[in-house]
Structure 1
Amino acid sequence: MAHTLELILDARATLGEGPSWHVGEGVLYWVDIEGRAIHVYHPGTGRDRTIPVGQMVGAVVPRAQGGLVVVLQDGFYALNPVTGALSLLAAVEADDPRTRFNDGKCDARGRFWAGTMAIADSPEPLGSLYCLEPDLSVRKVLSGIFCSNGIGWSPDNRVMYYIDSPTRKVMAYDYHLDTGTIANPRVVAEIDQGVPDGMTVDEEGMIWVAQWDGGVVSRWNPYTGERLLTVEVPAPRTTSCVFGGPNLDELYITSARTGLDAATLAAYTHSGGLFRASVGVRGLPTCAFAG
């Protein structure tokens, strides 16, 4: 599978993450966690607009009724992307200053899944995985997580994939779309280059994993555990990816500068940039929050 990669925005994000493609608007939303901002990238013009949110922000998704939903350090919020106004939908771990939300994504029924992690390095697994239902109730689904990260679903919605980064494993769970419940955990990929970060799924059911400190996004067959393709990214801290574009055949890739020393930043000047790859396969659309 041939592929090409281009830098489309020299954003120099501190910790670029959480991209989602808005099919209706034809724009890419993504976040800078440590920059405390949402970015709105317009491929037609190459313009990138920043919406400050005042807290660390883990992920952003479209909202079916309009606007966006984001996870900030202490919960789920609705965001008006025009005015920047935030309104709390559900507080989560707001009384625990040790943790913050990280990556998140919606399932095909519009539930928003997102997880937490320790803000500072911790030997304890302080994080958990939560699900925000369309009725705005919140369920804790998993606990004992070190760094809650990439989430995705198979094209038939019968499998959910999930990454707790330090384990270096991509897990799969049987997924019940009607109830939003998971069962039967098993390992479907083991990452040996850096650690797995954000991920997405293509229409063939293969998974794409961004590898932090690996400088790559890799495509894996979750049924065999085989690595099928590696896309080299000139940013060692490759963080996440999502399919976008009019045909959902453009892979957008985020990256980070945080924690890199001066020599590494001099060698990889586009760290923190936004990249786009043509990889010869279509992805699945970003699902919106239904509540």
Structure 2
Amino acid sequence: MLEIASACSCFLGEGPVWDTRNQVICWIDVLKGKIYELEPETKYLKTITVNQPVGSIVVCEDGSFLGAFQNGFGFVDRNTGLVDFFSDPEAHLPLNRFNDGKCDPAGRFWAGTMSMTERPSAGSVYMLDSDLSVSRKIEGTTISNGMAWSPDRRKFYFIDSPTAKVVAYNYELSSGSLSGREPVITFRDSDGFPDGMTIDGEGMLWIAHWNGWQVSRWNPVTGEKLFSIPLPVANVSSCTFGGSDLQDLYITTARKDLSAAEIKEQPLAGSLFVWKNCGYTGMPAFEYKK
């Protein structure tokens, strides 16, 4: 069922996104400042080095990357790795960096920040609009992670990992405004911490378990855990659907926080995994609209 898509041994593999136009799976090694593109059929792996921590990337309508970095937002040249920075909403907080992020259904880029020392409540979630204006949407987060929008585009799901919860906000498509925060999923201590997240066409959430050895599928309406997929590594960081029919589940993992002994026991830690033809269909990744 589960295969190794790429054994590149990321220190902190994260942020997978399926590039529909180019039919490649893209992901990042956050602290090493690398972006990867893998062509699944040929196994050709391209590495783009951006020379600073990269929290998340999205694909733009023109095919370029837009990233959220330690030093703010920037467009990435996919051939050279050069980053054109244009906005840093937390320039006054040099110990913060951007973490997870995604585009919403209107083509705006949402990304959260966190303290590099993981100081509680030091982060925020920002929305970058098509005119490059930035607004703060959520305050007081610690490790901003998974994001997803419901298929009817009325709910925004969000994970602040140390809370061990997924919360749902009422989401207004035209403005991006949020209201009515409500916890919908709670992790047990034995589950590890909720990290990255994606959503399928049925509106079910797929959540990566940091220090939890699995990806799980949940019903956000009932809070029920439907099933889980065990992995041979502890730190499972994120997941997304890819492939021509969006039925391949790609899963990123990490070596961060593992001792030398644990890495020896988990030689595949940091690999990109895939569950091909998983029987569920994902939602296409929204692109950034300039």
- State TM-score, norm by structure 1: 0.97
- Matched with 2:288 is 289
Q: In the alignment, residue 234 of structure 1 is paired with which amino acid?
A: P
Instruction: Provide the rounded CA distance (Å) in 1 between the counterparts of 2:8 and 2:231.
Output: 15
Q: In the alignment, residue 11 of structure 2 is paired with which amino acid?
A: T
Q: Any stretches of 5+ residues in structure 1 without a counterpart? A: none
What is the percent sequence identity of the aligned residues? Answer: 43
Specify the SS of the correspondent of 2:286.
coil
Instruction: Provide the rounded CA distance (Å) in 2 between the counterparts of 1:121 and 1:151.
Output: 19
Instruction: Provide the rounded CA distance (Å) in 2 between the counterparts of 1:32 and 1:5.
Output: 21
Matches within 5 A, 1:119-134: 119-122=116-119, 124-134=120-130
Matches within 5 A, 1:84-95: 84-95=81-92
Cα deviation digits, residues 79-115 of structure 1 (max 9, x gap):
1101222101321212312211000000111000000
Instruction: Provide the rounded CA distance (Å) in 2 between the counterparts of 1:84 and 1:118.
Output: 25
- Matched with 1:113 is 110
- Matched with 1:204 is 202
State whether structure 2 residue 28 is matched by structure 1 residue 40. Answer: no
Instruction: Provide the rounded CA distance (Å) in 2 between the counterparts of 1:14 and 1:269.
Output: 12
- Matched with 1:143 is 139
Matches within 5 A, 1:105-254: 105-122=102-119, 124-192=120-188, 193-254=191-252
Instruction: Provide the rounded CA distance (Å) in 2 between the counterparts of 1:229 and 1:282.
Output: 16
Instruction: Provide the rounded CA distance (Å) in 2 between the counterparts of 1:89 and 1:182.
Output: 25
Query: How many matched pairs?
Result: 287
- Matched with 2:6 is 9
Deviates more, 1:83-92 or 1:264-273: 83-92
Instruction: Provide the rounded CA distance (Å) in 1 between the counterparts of 2:287 and 2:135.
Output: 18
Instruction: Provide the rounded CA distance (Å) in 2 between the counterparts of 1:197 and 1:13.
Output: 16
- Matched with 2:99 is 102
Deviating beyond 3 angstroms after TM superposition, the runs of 4 or more aligned structure 1 residues are none
Cα deviation digits, residues 202-230 of structure 1 (max 9, x gap):
00000000010001110000000000010
Deviates more, 1:76-85 or 1:130-139: 76-85
Instruction: Provide the rounded CA distance (Å) in 2 between the counterparts of 1:251 and 1:66.
Output: 22
Q: Any stretches of 5+ residues in structure 2 without a counterpart? A: none
Instruction: Provide the rounded CA distance (Å) in 1 between the counterparts of 2:219 and 2:284.
Output: 19
Specify the SS of the correspondent of 1:141.
strand
Instruction: Provide the rounded CA distance (Å) in 2 between the counterparts of 1:77 and 1:109.
Output: 19
- Matched with 1:274 is 272
